[in-house]
Amino acid sequence: MIEGATAVAAAPPQRMPRAPFPGPGESDPDSAPPPPQRPDEAAAASSAALRASPQLKRWSRGRALRLGRRLGMDREALASPTETPEAKPQPPSPPPEEAAAAEDDGGGVCAAAERAGKAIYMVSDGTGWTAEHSVSAALGQFEHCLFDRGCVVSTHLFNGINNIDTLLEVIKQAAKEGALVLYTLADPSMAESAKKACDFFGVPSTDVLRPTVDAIASHIGVAPSGIPRSSPSRQGQLTEDYFRRIDAIDFTIKQDDGAQPQNLNRADIVLVGVSRTGKTPLSIYLAQKGYKVANVPIVMGVDLPKPLFEINQDKIFALTINPVVLQAIRRARAKSLGFYGHRSNYAEMEHVRQELNHANQIFAHNPVWPVIEVTGKAIEETAAVIVRIHHDRKMKCSMPRISKRVAPLLVYDYLSEMVNTRVEYQKVFSREV
């Protein structure tokens, strides 16, 4: 798998002709897969070939480095001159044999891609955030396959694609690798060009953005602008929302780990929990969404700051975690800091349980604080729960309720009684704990 990934990353793509697409009767020497050529034909083709795109070359080189750091690339593959053309400068006029070998190497990219796994190209005219997160969410439906190594997938993001030539280079490289192309191109002409190029080269593709844009346009009755978000022609790039997010990040960093408790009243969300429950990364993630977040640690023997109980209690969210998981996290933290094995009860199970019990007693005395279990949850999942509760409290609403006009009165009263009973039970249970 690693050798394949190396070969894919190191193979230099060929530059496109200036014409957007070859005509129906024309042939493309770079189409995938290329037909086998004799030495004399390969020499003629190489003399007419243009230099590889520097931008795509940088992408390939960076991808190779990333694969090498994460997966440990084969040193023999790295040392091979046939798979690393940057390691040795090419002569100005290669003989026919070398030209034929170069053509064969370009045609062998698909075989190398198969060894490295199925490639997915994400093409965007902006930052690629939409494409990247859409693909990540979709890949979550194949964890049963990916974790067992039954189907290997490698994703590659190409952002800032704002001209036809670069777009065609990426698509032709995708054809050589046998990759799937998923694109989010706001400009209708760019999106149409991507579709036609993928159809011409036989590359499977999907427009991730267009169906949603068309559905919204049909719903509100307004045509989309078709201007990419990163375009210089777009007015008002630095909106109030942008500065609000910058403000939130600045505030959150200053309020980390219980600092400046006098500013808790300015926070939109306050997180409380014992050490290593993920308060800081969760705070930063929420800050990037525009929420001013403060986090306050719970430490045995140290009283919580007074302002915490003087602010609006609807802002406060409590975090808890499984003690076994917390101990493992603390052990790893202690090793990274170099004091694991010294006289410290930071990562001892008994101390971990005592801290969690102490935190649970505080939570029980403050039943307004929602207690969120973070064990096994990603930061995004925990943040989604917090944002939903925060939004419901702010808007004074909750999940859609059963309407009396729709449901029979008896059923409605029965469900309401169940809810009230559950609330009362939770209050009694909290007092007992």
**Position 77, amino acid:** A
**130-134, 157-161, 334-338, 405-409: the lowest-pLDDT one:** 405-409
| Cα gap 48→30, rounded to integer Å | 12
- Mean pLDDT, residues 45-66 taken together: 52
Does the global pTM surpass 0.85? Answer: no
Residue listed under structure tokens 């694969």: 67
The sign one gets for the Cα dihedral 130, 133, 134, 135 is positive
- What is the residue-averaged pLDDT of the chain? 74
Q: Strand, coil or helix: what is 121?
A: strand
Q: In which band, very low, low, confident or very high, does the pLDDT at 309 lie, cut at 50, 70 and 90? A: very high
Q: Strand, coil or helix: what is 229?
A: coil
Q: Are 165 and 16 in contact (CB under 8 A)?
A: yes
Q: Strand, coil or helix: what is 305?
A: coil
The sign one gets for the Cα dihedral 41, 47, 50, 54 is positive
- Mean pLDDT, residues 347-367 taken together: 94
Q: In which band, very low, low, confident or very high, does the pLDDT at 91 lie, cut at 50, 70 and 90? A: very low
For the chain, what percent of residues have pLDDT higher than 90? 48
192 has pLDDT over 70: yes
- Mean pLDDT, residues 57-86 taken together: 46
pLDDT tens string 338-356:
776 666 788 889 999 999 9
**31-40, 68-77, 92-101, 128-137: the lowest-pLDDT one:** 68-77
Angle, alpha carbons 129-135-141 (nearest 5°)? 145
Q: In which band, very low, low, confident or very high, does the pLDDT at 320 lie, cut at 50, 70 and 90? A: very high
| Cα gap 428→416, rounded to integer Å | 19
123 strand-pairing partners: 158, 183
Please state which of the four CATH numbers 3.30.70, 3.40.50, 3.20.20, 1.10.150 is assigned to the domain occupying 240-394.
Answer: 3.40.50
The sign one gets for the Cα dihedral 176, 179, 184, 189 is positive
**Position 419, amino acid:** V
Q: Which helix (H) or strand (E) holds 180?
A: strand 180-184
Q: Strand, coil or helix: what is 147?
A: coil
User: What's 151's DSSP letter?
Assistant: S
Q: Are 329 and 306 in contact (CB under 8 A)?
A: no
pLDDT tens string 227-284:
887 776 665 567 788 889 999 999 999 999 999 999 999 999 999 999 999 999 999 9
373 has pLDDT over 60: yes
- Mean pLDDT, residues 318-324 taken together: 95
Spans of all domains in the chain: 2-220, 240-394
Looking at residue 145, its pLDDT comes to: 77
Looking at residue 372, its pLDDT comes to: 95
Q: In which band, very low, low, confident or very high, does the pLDDT at 144 lie, cut at 50, 70 and 90? A: confident
pLDDT tens string 272-298:
999 999 999 999 999 999 999 999 999
Closest CA to 128 of 153, 160, 169: 160
Quote the crossing angle between the two packed helices 164-177 and 54-71, to the nearest 10°. 40
Residue with more model confidence, 346 or 94: 346
Looking at residue 148, its pLDDT comes to: 58
Looking at residue 339, its pLDDT comes to: 72
- Residue 245: which residues within 8 A CB-CB, separation 6 or more? 287, 288, 289, 290
Closest CA to 398 of 388, 406, 409: 388
Looking at residue 228, its pLDDT comes to: 81
The sign one gets for the Cα dihedral 225, 231, 235, 237 is positive
- Token pair recorded at residue 144: 């049963």
